[in-house]
């Protein structure tokens, strides 16, 4: 598995080991969600997106998580001053998203898709 083009993601957590650090990220898309949103899918309208430093509305899918090596191959801007972060979710939003991710992992693991080279 190789890195693809740059993509916005929500970082769920950083972990791994000192010799093999990794990031767990949830997928985003700027494609509008069609139909009712299932548990784990969070939509952000233009105003919400702007508050998070994004130029357009997007969808965060907490059901699709990638386990990626924390390296410059996977995160080309990692060594920049902000480590490539384009925005930061306020504490209340992070708490809400983390609670949704935990709920999915503990009560609905069958809906999760684990992706990435470290998905083990």
Rg, C-alpha atoms of the chain: 14
**Interval 49-72 mean pLDDT:** 93
pTM: 0.87
* Topology, domain 9-115: SH3 type barrels. (2.30.30)
**Interval 52-77 mean pLDDT:** 92
Contact 61, 9 (CB under 8 A): no
pLDDT band for 53, please (50, 70, 90 cuts). confident
pLDDT at position 7 is 77
Contact 28, 61 (CB under 8 A): yes
Euclidean distance between CA atoms 69 and 113, whole angstroms: 17
Top pLDDT among 120 and 32 is at 32
Q: Residue 111 contacts by C-beta under 8 Å, 6 or more apart in sequence?
A: 38, 39, 40, 63, 104
* Structure confidence by residue, pLDDT tens digits, 74-89: 988 888 888 877 778 8
Q: Which of 87, 89, 86, 28 is nearest to 59 (CA)?
A: 28
């Amino acid at each position: 598995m190789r890195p693809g083009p740059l993509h916005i993601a929500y970082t769920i957590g950083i972990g791994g080991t000192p010799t093999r650090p990794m990031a767990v990220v949830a997928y985003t898309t700027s494609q509008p969600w069609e139909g009712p949103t299932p548990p784990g899918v969070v939509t952000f309208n233009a105003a919400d997106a702007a508050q998070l430093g994004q130029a357009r509305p997007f969808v965060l899918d907490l059901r699709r998580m990638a386990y990626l090596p924390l390296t410059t191959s996977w995160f080309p801007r990692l060594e920049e001053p902000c480590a490539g972060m384009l925005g930061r979710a306020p504490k209340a939003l992070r708490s809400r998203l983390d609670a949704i991710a935990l709920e999915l992992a503990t009560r609905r693991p069958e809906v999760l898709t684990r992706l990435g080279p470290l998905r083990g």
